[in-house]
Amino acid sequence: MTMELVFIPSPGIGHLRSTVELAKQLVNGDERLSITVIIIPRSSGGDASDSAQISSLFTPSQPRLRHETISVSPTSERRPTQLYIDSQKPQVRDAVARLVVDSRLAGFVIDMFCVSMMDLADEFKVPSYLVYTSNATFLGVTLHLQKMYDEKEWDTSELSEESTVKELEFPCLTRPYPVECLPYIFLSKEWLQLFLSQARKFRKMKGVLVNSVAELEPHALDVLSRDGDLPRVYPIGPVLHLQNGSRDDGGEESEVLRWLDKQPERSVVFLCFGSLGGFSEEQTKEIAVALDRSGYRFLWSLRRASPNILTEAPGDYANLEEILPEGFLDRTSDRGKVIGWAPQVAVLAKHAIGGFVTHCGWNSMLESLWFGVPMVTWPLYAEQKVNAFEMVEELGLAVEIRRAIRGDLLDGEMEMVRAEELERAIRSVMEQDSDVRNRVKEMAEKCHVALMDGGSSKAALRKFIEDVI
């Protein structure tokens, strides 16, 4: 009889892709394991394209990896993800009950935003494991803030620009962290309580699968491993979905990739800011001026800012001629392209890409490291300011526009980045034999080795399988 793991990812194709990649590694790693991914549709109910994308992730050639989509009642009501997930417990319970008839249930593997599903694992008398889709450093920061809040009533949401406290000490970092670089989620009372509640549940897990590499975050992982109050941490990254690449349909995407094939090696700077990253007209003009002045080739994935990223995704500008500086598109037509959505993985894989201006989402940073592309950090929301600090100051794998860019898209207020600041950062990241570029190249090699037989992440995955069985 096989041993069944139940995976519960957050709604949305982004979380599901990395979840399925991890599940594939596990079933390929041991024939005694079988995995069912319980898919919770988006609260809006999704559409036909969601179903098609989900089906494409699973292949008949892997019979020990299955998925089951529970039914939900679509609603226009917007609720925090955690509350929406919690309301789906009855349907998930029923789906799991059907599984245990033919298999021995070994445990739940739960996304960081689905921790309330621990209650169901307890009902079925099996352990819960956490899939932490960010990095070990941010995990350490969150757990430390929770500990300080509970033990010493130390509340970061009470900090302000007038506060006498300018730096914080986190055990998972080797240097002081500037208060001005704290993410909005730790300065807002509402968001802080949400993350502290999550952290308390993290401590009750049997283990934590973190999307990182031992050679990338040695200090943070060592601190977590020596904390006797924490579950075991398995650094099994980078878990990447590398097949979002090109659709050879003759459309804009294919044309962009063909254009990149014609550019010299490491000559193009790529600007892309994730699914929620968008900019005002004023900020868009500043970016255009920086690219114009820099003289470098560029590929710019440009989106219009959303009035509220929690309820509305960024969109495309209807008329770029009206938004960009006069003559910009004509002046740069032979060396640059402004597009909407970008096939990020396929672009970063191209040898023409020499630098990446990124919003510092952790998946994006791992993809950039995987392909050996140095980054310019422009954090926009969530934990991205911590990611940027780690990459620039802890690891020396990126270039910053400035140490602290105030504001956050979650709060709706972002400080302006001026053209001269961005131009300076682009020139720095595109320098061909810089220390940053050389360190990124070395780290790319280490990330690849980590996933090979005998590598650190492969060994951590094997240890997790042994512990489950």
The pLDDT-based confidence of 449 (bands split at 50, 70, 90) is very high
pLDDT tens digits, residue range 171-181? 999 999 999 99
Mean pLDDT of the chain: 92
pLDDT in tens, 383-396: 999 999 999 999 99
pLDDT at 63: 85
| Helix, strand, coil percent values for the chain (each to nearest 5) | 40, 15, 40
In DSSP terms, which residues pair with 298 in a beta bridge?
269, 336
Q: How many Å apart are CA 379 and CA 376, to the nearest integer?
A: 10
pLDDT digits (tens, 9 = 90+) for 63-115: 899 999 998 876 666 666 777 898 899 999 999 999 888 789 999 999 999 99
Q: Express each pLDDT in 331-357 by its tens digit.
A: 999 999 999 999 999 999 999 999 999
pLDDT for residue 49 is more than 70 = no
The position carrying tokens 């529970």 is: 70
Between 213 and 163, residue with greater pLDDT: 213
Domain ranges across the chain: 3-153+197-242+452-468, 252-447
Superfamily of domain 252-447: Glycogen Phosphorylase B; (3.40.50.2000)
393 secondary structure, DSSP code:
I
Q: What are phi and psi of 170, to 5 degrees?
A: -115, 130
| pLDDT confidence of residue 44 | 65
Q: Which long-range contacts (CB under 8 A, 24 or more apart) does 226-230 make?
A: 227/143, 229/203, 230/143, 230/203
3-153+197-242+452-468: CATH superfamily: Glycogen Phosphorylase B; (3.40.50.2000)
pLDDT at 42 over 70: yes
- Where helices occur in 132-184 by DSSP H, the ranges are 136-152
Domains 3-153+197-242+452-468 and 252-447 belong to one CATH topology: yes
- β-bridge mates for residue 337, sequence order: 299
pLDDT in the model for residue 79: 66
C-alpha 35 chain-centroid distance: 23
Q: The sheet that has 104-111: what strands, in order across it?
A: 65-69, 33-39, 3-8, 104-111, 128-132, 207-210, 232-235
